[in-house]
Amino acid sequence: MSDLNENTLYFNRELSWLQFNSRVLYQSTKSDKPLLERLKFLAIYATNLDEFYMIRIAGLKQLYSARFVSSGADEMTPLEQLEQIRTYLHGEKENLENSYRTITKKLSTHGLFIQKFHDLPTELKKEAGEFFYENIFPVIIPIAVDTTHPFPPLNNLSLSLAIKLQDSSDPFDIKFAMIRIPRLLPRFIHLSQGIYITIESLVREYIEDIFPGYDVLATTTFRVTRNADIVIEEEEADDFMEILQQGLRLRRKGAFVRLEIEENCDQELLQFLNTYLKINEKDIYEYAIPLNIGTLWDIVSDKAFSHLSVAPHVPKQLPPFDQNESIFKIIDREDAMILQPYESFEPVIKFIQDAAKDPKVLSIRMTLYRVGKNSPIVQALIDAANNGKQVTAMVELKARFDEENNLIWAKALEEAGAHVIYGIPGFKVHAKIAQVIRKSHDKLKIYLHLSTGNYNESTAKIYTDISYFTSREEFRADSITFFHILTGFSKNKKLSNLKMSPMQMKESLLEMIKSERLYKEKGRIIAKMNSLVDPDVIKALYKASNEGVQIDLIIRGICCLKPGVAGVSENIRVISIVGKYLEHSRIFYFKHSAPSLYISSADWMPRNLEKRFELMTPVYEESLALKLLDLLNLQLNDNVLAWELQTSGDYLLRKAKEGDKAINSQEFLENYVNKLYKSSKKRAATNAPAKKKKIFR
């Protein structure tokens, strides 16, 4: 067997992520998708790339400056990674531009136009001009840049115009100026129905009104990206909330890491900008399409063109949650599981709302990582605290890009009298658990919700996740201990049935992988997650493969494991599913473990297994375990949305062979849930007895 420390056995994390985002971009090119669905994927691609530059590229630049030699099992240096990333993205830019042009051209045949001001007919130019003077001119500020006017501060991801001007009375007097486009203004201005124009093309038309007495020689739209990673010295923080608020303010002033600019930009303008921005020329991207296409969501959501979008799936409430009864009665009868977003998130909300109102409920404890801006769950916790119940909320203030929202909710919960924990020094709390303690027959009974996803009703409509409700005695002591660890002081405490990181989850995973090796070719592992990076776990999988264990991995995003290597990973297959919904659930199957099925909040990455509080939950109920196993097998048979990772590092899109049935796992689950919903409604209408639960096969 090869040396498992050999760097050639591992893919680079950053380059693997880039390939994931390319699979997202590919969705925008699929002619069988509705046009606004394709436009949506362009927006997702661009938003993903923004975050990648703000965090990952910024981090690599810091590692390079600090002279780190390598930072992963692949042993690529920060500089090597930066160079390959830049080459990859500059090469992919043409695909992005072509996709945008193709989609917008086809949209125009349906009466939806994304244009520039000069493309408008005369009557609409007049309408646009009126909009400019009424809504834009009063709020924009002309910014001169010279010896007495300093270069202005630029917010992260802000859109601006750089301008080269000439004094109308002195052709030798050349000046440079800027106009910042405030974020409160729309990126695409909606004129008559179906016609949008880019805001910069409208502002550009009236520059000489903004700078009277000057002629415009050249203009360019540009957008800057800053380092947005917040570094908090937690051990030195007397007031963590105040330290975090300072960090959020500093985020706006992070180092510049990328410049996006219009194609064929005047070189003097570019030189003027970079005199102040000082961005590596390889991090300057010239685009022939509008900048900041992540804002295309505004057009995607235009209801007048909903016929150009995918028909929405309405999440259904299935048995046992389809009756108007207390959620605690339901959980008393049986363990229950929801497959989001195919099934409704409402029972999760109802779980907390019922607890807030139930006079028998004494205590509610839960973790909050990313919650919505108008969260009914947090409002229910506030109501519970106001009702005199003991409410404990672990609000993770370090949830990246949700810090400000979480700060607001943390303060609101505190004001209501809840006990709020902001985090654990040195760790993030990423576990998804809600615990309700309720009086039942003069005893205290514990009800739990354990999940792979966040308590966020918005993302619950587009992320695939597992919600598990239970009152099993096996989890009682563990759930109490877990919250005691979060709220108090604890050293080296472990749980019995639930598995927790950073103390024990990795150890448990490695042990279960090792145990499958005893069964050689009869060994079987299936694991579904977002990312696989941890080198210890990868080595364990390599060893299991070499013993003959059959391993299937469903990894949506980053995968550093290299499948199909002779003598190392011949028995490992890796697929990635990219479709209408973001695959987010973590499900692990170890055939010869007892139990064999687990759900988790954690990916198999060092940060999840060693630097975060996470939970892995065994599924004891056989029917629910079979349901999860069927879900895994369904996705393994997907030949529409699945991409298969090759030993070379390339991903090949699976296609149904001639004569085979096309299997789109996401579409299958929509249809499956709709069918169950209709059946349950029919039974309810006829008072027919409930049939024995069927598991989809």
3-state secondary structure of 653: strand
Spatial CA neighbour of 57 closest among 350, 212, 280: 280
| CA distance linking residue 263 with residue 39, whole number of Å | 21
Q: How many helices (H) and strands (E) does the chain have?
A: 20, 27
| CA distance linking residue 96 with residue 99, whole number of Å | 5
Which of 190, 307, 313, 430 is flagged as catalytic? Answer: 430
Q: Which residues pair with 651 in a beta bridge?
A: 645
Long-range contacts, 227-232 (Cβ 8 Å, 24+): 227/54, 227/58, 227/61, 227/62, 227/254, 227/255, 227/257, 228/54, 228/55, 228/58, 228/156, 228/254, 228/401, 229/54, 229/55, 229/58, 229/59, 229/254, 229/400, 230/398, 230/400, 230/403, 232/398
Strand order in the sheet with 195-198: 113-115, 195-198, 188-190
Helix axes 78-108, 58-65, angle to 10 degrees: 160
- Contact of 451 with 601, CB cutoff 8 Å: yes
3-state secondary structure of 611: coil
Q: Which residues pair with 614 in a beta bridge?
A: 501
Tokens (6 digits) for 299: 């057009």
Question: How many angstroms separate the Cα of 194 from the Cα of each of 49, 156, 532?
Answer: 28, 30, 43
- Contact of 47 with 21, CB cutoff 8 Å: no
DSSP secondary structure string for all residues of 358-393: -TTEEEEEEEESS--TT-HHHHHHHHHHHTT-EEEE
Q: What angle do CA 317, 319, 320 make, to 5 degrees?
A: 110
3-state secondary structure of 418: coil
| CA distance linking residue 357 with residue 351, whole number of Å | 10
3-state secondary structure of 455: coil
654: phi then psi, degrees, rounded to nearest 5: -70, 145
Question: How many angstroms separate the Cα of 226 from the Cα of each of 79, 154, 381?
Answer: 19, 9, 36
Reply yes or no on whether 430 is catalytic.
Answer: yes
* 321: Cβ contacts below 8 Å, ≥ 6 apart: 327, 330, 336, 338, 344, 346, 347, 350
Spatial CA neighbour of 676 closest among 662, 689, 693: 693
DSSP state of 556: S
107: phi then psi, degrees, rounded to nearest 5: -60, -35
| CA distance linking residue 541 with residue 92, whole number of Å | 33
Hey, which residues are catalytic here? 430
